[in-house]
């Protein structure tokens, strides 16, 4: 897909992978409207020339408010990037069920609801794409992040089936599966982390080449291990 003059709606675009992806899309000549919650970060992105839309996507009301803000505008690309990480480890303490619910909605329900609202509009464009950012942990989960892993696995399944449903349309469905990336969300993760700009560049390449999947960094090795032995892949990741 040629990104010049394409209109992009990017959720979670004020920090981390989303921020770097927004910048790369802009360099390619795309017009990017991004969502976020942090006012200072949103202001900083606005000063860089991006359109910003304040939105909280951890419940249906927030997603519906975003759709209302969009109104009759049309986009060529929807990037479902916004996500949350929740500590849910019974080995430490009893987890917070409300926090888990917010994570489930933000990571899984919100992309589904937003996609459902925008598919009719995307279908009217000459060429369109839906990009769902999941995780390598959608392939094999980590023990300390069961809720996050479950949501990303759910979004992976949704992406695969959505791609099949839309295969004869103008809408490309792309799944990006990052490894552990150096973002605020992973600040406490002791593992080696990929720079956010490198991850964003590989997502951008998948959009430009219309690849159905972008297995990024160490996720490529995990995907290979899973293809040989799913049990082996799970043994590797469940330790973390």
Dump pLDDT digits (tens) for 5-33.
Answer: 999 999 999 999 999 999 999 999 999 99
Contact by Cβ (8 Å): 29, 7: no
Confidence of residue 233 (pLDDT cuts 50, 70, 90): confident
The pLDDT value given to residue 191? 64
Tokens of 234: 């799970």
> Residue 187 pLDDT more than 90?
no
The gap from C-alpha 7 to its chain's centroid, in whole angstroms, comes to 17
Q: What is the pLDDT of residue 34?
A: 98
Question: Is residue 189's pLDDT more than 70?
Answer: no
- Output the CA–CA distances (angstroms, integers) from residue 199 to 45, 166, 231, in the order listed: 19, 26, 27
The model's confidence at residue 188, banded by pLDDT at 50, 70 and 90, is low
* Average confidence (pLDDT) over 76-95: 95
> CATH for 7-238, among 3.30.70.2860, 3.40.50.300, 3.50.50.100, 3.40.50.720?
3.40.50.720
Rounded average pLDDT over 63-73: 95
- Write out the two tokens for 172: 């490309």
Strands 128-133 and 31-36: unpaired
Catalytic choice (134, 148, 150, 171):
148
| Per-residue pLDDT reduced to its tens digit, 96-144 | 999 999 999 999 999 999 999 999 999 999 999 999 999 999 999 999 8
pLDDT of residue 218: 85
Instruction: Report pLDDT digits (tens) over 190-232.
Output: 667 789 999 999 999 999 999 999 999 888 888 888 888 888 6
The pLDDT of residue 162 is above 70: yes
Higher pLDDT, 230 or 52: 52
Domain ranges of the chain: 7-238
158 an active-site residue? no
């Amino acid at each position: 897909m040629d990104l010049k003059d394409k209109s992009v709606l990017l959720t979670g675009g004020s920090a981390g992978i989303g921020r770097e992806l927004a910048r790369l899309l802009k360099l390619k000549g795309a017009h990017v409207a991004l969502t976020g919650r942090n006012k200072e970060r949103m202001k900083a992105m606005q000063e860089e020339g991006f359109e910003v839309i304040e939105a909280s996507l951890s419940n249906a009301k927030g997603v519906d408010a975003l759709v209302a803000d969009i109104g009759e505008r049309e986009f060529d690309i929807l990037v479902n990037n916004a996500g949350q990480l929740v500590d849910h480890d019974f080995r430490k303490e009893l987890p917070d069920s409300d926090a888990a619910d917010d994570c489930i909605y933000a990571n899984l329900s919100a992309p589904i609801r937003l996609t459902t609202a925008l598919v009719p509009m995307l279908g009217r464009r000459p060429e369109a794409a839906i990009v769902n950012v999941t995780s390598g942990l959608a392939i094999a989960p980590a023990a300390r992040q069961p809720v996050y892993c479950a949501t990303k696995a759910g979004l992976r399944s949704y992406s695969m089936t959505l791609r099949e449903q839309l295969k004869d349309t103008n809408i490309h469905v792309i799944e990006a599966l990052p490894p552990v990336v150096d973002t605020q969300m992973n600040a406490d993760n002791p593992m080696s982390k990929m720079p956010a700009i490198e991850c964003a560049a590989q997502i951008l390449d998948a959009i430009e080449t219309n690849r159905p999947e972008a297995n990024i960094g160490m996720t490529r090795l995990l995907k290979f291990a899973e293809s040989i032995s799913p049990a082996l892949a799970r043994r590797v990741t469940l330790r973390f």
